[in-house]
Structure 1
Amino acid sequence: MRGRRRRTARQVVLLFWTAVGFCEGRRGIAVSETAAWNAFVQLPSVPDRVDRVEGVLADFWSGSAPRARGLLRAERLQVAGRWHPFPAEVFLFVSGTLPVERRADRGDRVSLVGRLKREDLPASSRDVALPWTRYRMSVKSALHRTLPASRSRGEWFDRNVRGPLAALLLGRTAELDRGMVARYRRGGLYHLLVVSGLHVALAAGLVLGGLRRARVAGKRRDAILLVSVFLFVLVGGANPPAVRAGIVIGIFLAARLFERPIPAAQALGLSALALFVADPRQVYSIGTVLTFA
């Protein structure tokens, strides 16, 4: 009798999380896809159409002028003089002689003017089929950063001090020197320059070491450590890798605070569920697969 109840309880839990997954998938993917598509189909079908999109650059530029390529996390689209929500991924192809990284780079909020089209073909046959539409935009140097540029204190300071500190402490990778980024990428060490799961774990270890030296223990230690991790992830820009590590540590510490300690593997599984519920698109992220696989 007791074994039957346990099986029934497991089935109920499984059905519950399946229902939650479908609901969150619809909210996080289908609703955004519908909003973006409704805005896109309102654009006039004329050959000389010029579109305006605003959003945040989601990656560094690849290539160089006059054929620079990038990725935009779009937020809104202007149609007939009015702004409409446009939560979509847009591949950028920028022409012109001026290097685009001088105007804006990863993490900057930008306004773009060009021709917006639907991306019908995958980049390669190895790409995963995504359940949402991606777009492409041809831009002819009409790239404007909507936030003011930071002040400079000299080329050496900006390249070797300001850029790495802004990336590590604030998650602003736009401050990084392009040459430094290229060298670290070739060496497979690019993750050291931006706030990631490694930095969250190191920060948590430093705080834990300080608390032990201060002889803080028990629930007070766990609470301080939990708040410290939360603030570090938030101040660091809440990058997806840092968020994943923060959720794992947070669930593990929260279980100890409520006197319901769980193994590390169970904390990892619960964090994956929490992440997928909050952002279903993470299921298709290679970084998420490498974290939880």
Structure 2
Amino acid sequence: MSSWRLPVAAAAFALGLLAAPAAPGRPWVWLVLAGCAAAAGTALAPGRRRAADPLAWLAPAEPAAVATLEPAALQRSEPPGWAWIGLLSASLVLSGVGWGGLHRARTAGALLHRLAPARVELEGSLRTDPRARDRGWSAILDVRQVRAGGRAWSVRETVWVSAYGEASRAVRGDRLRVSGSLRIPEDAGFAESLLRRGIAAQVSASEVERLGPSDLPWVRAAQAVRAAVGRRIRALFPPREAGLLLGLALGDDSGLDEAMARHFRATGLGHLLVVSGGNVAMVLAPVLALALALRLGRWARFALGLGTVAFFVVLTGAEPSVMRAGVMAGLALTGGLLGRPRSAASVLAGAVLGLLVLDPALVWSVGFQLSVGATASMIAMASPIAERLRFLPRPVALAAAATLAAQIGVTPLLLSVFHEVPLVTIAANVLA
């Protein structure tokens, strides 16, 4: 059972984050309640035997008297086996509610949220590539400087930028100066979606100026690699195939052919159009194989592997599924370095819990939910399913089991969000 404590903890914390928008009261109240539940659960945990008389600890006990206690009497003093687990799980749910509430309150109290509506000039870096929309484009901007009404502020906040006309040629990581109208969206659903994602407000841009590449050297390096690889792919392949490869390799879906994208999604292969968690393994495996071939030491292999994963996450724009896989890879590498490997379930749970603590908005990301659901389902069910498919050749059985397990994990989410699941998904993914 101990191997599932961390998965239960991650699930409980995520449940609390999802419940946070509907929770009444102030976030700190929920955190205090979480602390009380955690203290009670810790006190009831196994190994903390309690005397029948709550005041017995005030007087020293004779060793002989203790020796005469029957084992049954000691066992009767133990709390119920599941009581402490329930209390600790409840403390994690309450912690999620409080932590999610703090994240929400911080976004609602952000300067940009309070300034709206206003005419502003913003400086910051693009978190996402500009994406073409109806008669315009949109992107997410991490703001560092705000000017409005003759005043200026330094902030660390995020806005949704939208504009009419041709999409900006800037790419994620670039620094921009944006002038426009700051407002809270009139659409209540969209406004709530932005709030959950930690986005303070929306800017309808009238002027957009690219100031240059990122200030961060590792982001600039990723931008240079991305540009070089993109140019090479476009030179070698026709536009349709180049757009597909750019999405798969770099997470750049700006060149995807719409008709091709519809065909892929209709057969349940939409995940092949963009970079995903599986790409982390495809990049890391040959790097570690090369490190072994060069007979590098443990620390060198660890540093090389961790650096490769971190750079790939930056290169692909820190997509939720890639971050999940990247943190899992980092935890697995750390466990190997320390000689303390952990089960796949514990590594997944540790990655999920850590990411949700750092960025509670991830709990609302459909991409993150699908990635975690598919991975958890494969960990739990792929091996049992493969055993039942022993009549098939081993490679086919493993591929079919992994695909079927992943599909079981994501089907509830697909039905909830997209209201459909293609019938040919399993066969198409096995063949792919």
Q: TM-score, normalised by structure 1?
A: 0.69
Aligned to 1:101: 168
For the residues of structure 2 that align with 1:157 and 1:132, how far apart are their CA atoms? 36
1:247 aligns with 2:327: yes
Aligned to 1:71: 139
Bigger-Rg structure (1/2): 2
The letter of the residue matching 2:307 is L
| C-alpha distance 93-190 of structure 1, shift in aligned 2 (>3 A) | farther
Post-superposition offset of 1:258: 3.6
Aligned to 1:268: 348
For the residues of structure 2 that align with 1:160 and 1:29, how far apart are their CA atoms? 46
1:205 corresponds, among 258, 267, 285, to 285
Q: Is the 8 A contact 2:183 2:203 kept in 1?
A: yes
State the secondary structure of the residue aligned to 1:100.
Answer: coil
Aligned to 1:145: 210
For the residues of structure 1 that align with 2:340 and 2:98, how far apart are their CA atoms? 28
| C-alpha distance 130-264 of structure 1, shift in aligned 2 (>3 A) | same
| C-alpha distance 215-231 of structure 1, shift in aligned 2 (>3 A) | closer
RMSD of Structure 2 on Structure 1 (CA):
4.2
Give structure 1 stretches of 5+ with no counterpart: none
The letter of the residue matching 1:130 is R
Q: Is the 8 A contact 2:139 2:160 kept in 1?
A: yes
State the secondary structure of the residue aligned to 2:108.
Answer: helix
- Structure 1 residues 245-254 or 72-81, which shifts more? 72-81
Post-superposition offset of 1:92: 0.6
Aligned to 1:41: 114
For the residues of structure 2 that align with 1:201 and 1:277, how far apart are their CA atoms? 24
Structure with more strand by fraction: 1
The letter of the residue matching 1:33 is A
State the secondary structure of the residue aligned to 1:267.
Answer: helix
Q: Is the 8 A contact 1:20 1:277 kept in 2?
A: no
Spell out the pairing of 1:1-293 with structure 2 (5 A cutoff): 4=79, 7=82, 9-11=84-86, 13-15=88-90, 17-18=92-93, 20-22=95-97, 24-26=99-101, 28-35=103-110, 38-42=111-115, 50-55=119-124, 56-63=126-133, 67-75=135-143, 76-81=145-150, 82-85=152-155, 87-95=157-165, 99-102=166-169, 104-122=170-188, 130=196, 135-140=201-206, 142-147=207-212, 159-160=234-235, 173=252, 178-179=254-255, 185-186=261-262, 187=264, 196-214=276-294, 220-221=297-298, 223-236=299-312, 237=314, 239=318, 240-293=320-373
For the residues of structure 1 that align with 2:194 and 2:109, how far apart are their CA atoms? 21
| C-alpha distance 143-185 of structure 1, shift in aligned 2 (>3 A) | farther
Give structure 2 stretches of 5+ with no counterpart: 1-45, 48-77, 215-222, 237-241, 374-432
Aligned residues: 268
For the residues of structure 1 that align with 2:334 and 2:231, how far apart are their CA atoms? 44
- Structure 1 residues 245-254 or 272-281, which shifts more? 245-254
Post-superposition offset of 1:159: 3.6
State the secondary structure of the residue aligned to 2:153.
Answer: strand
| C-alpha distance 32-12 of structure 1, shift in aligned 2 (>3 A) | same
For the residues of structure 1 that align with 2:185 and 2:324, how far apart are their CA atoms? 29
The letter of the residue matching 1:30 is A
Post-superposition offset of 1:231: 1.2
- Structure 1 residues 224-233 or 201-210, which shifts more? 224-233
The letter of the residue matching 2:208 is L
For the residues of structure 2 that align with 1:72 and 1:265, how far apart are their CA atoms? 33
| C-alpha distance 196-213 of structure 1, shift in aligned 2 (>3 A) | same
Q: Is the 8 A contact 1:29 1:280 kept in 2?
A: no
State the secondary structure of the residue aligned to 2:347.
Answer: helix
The letter of the residue matching 2:210 is R
State the secondary structure of the residue aligned to 2:196.
Answer: coil
For the residues of structure 2 that align with 1:167 and 1:32, how far apart are their CA atoms? 31
State the secondary structure of the residue aligned to 1:113.
Answer: strand
Q: Is the 8 A contact 1:74 1:88 kept in 2?
A: yes
State the secondary structure of the residue aligned to 2:168.
Answer: helix
The letter of the residue matching 2:310 is L
| C-alpha distance 145-180 of structure 1, shift in aligned 2 (>3 A) | same
For the residues of structure 1 that align with 2:107 and 2:194, how far apart are their CA atoms? 19
The letter of the residue matching 1:245 is A
For the residues of structure 2 that align with 1:231 and 1:272, how far apart are their CA atoms? 20
Task: Determine what percentage of the aligned residue pairs are the same residue.
Answer: 23
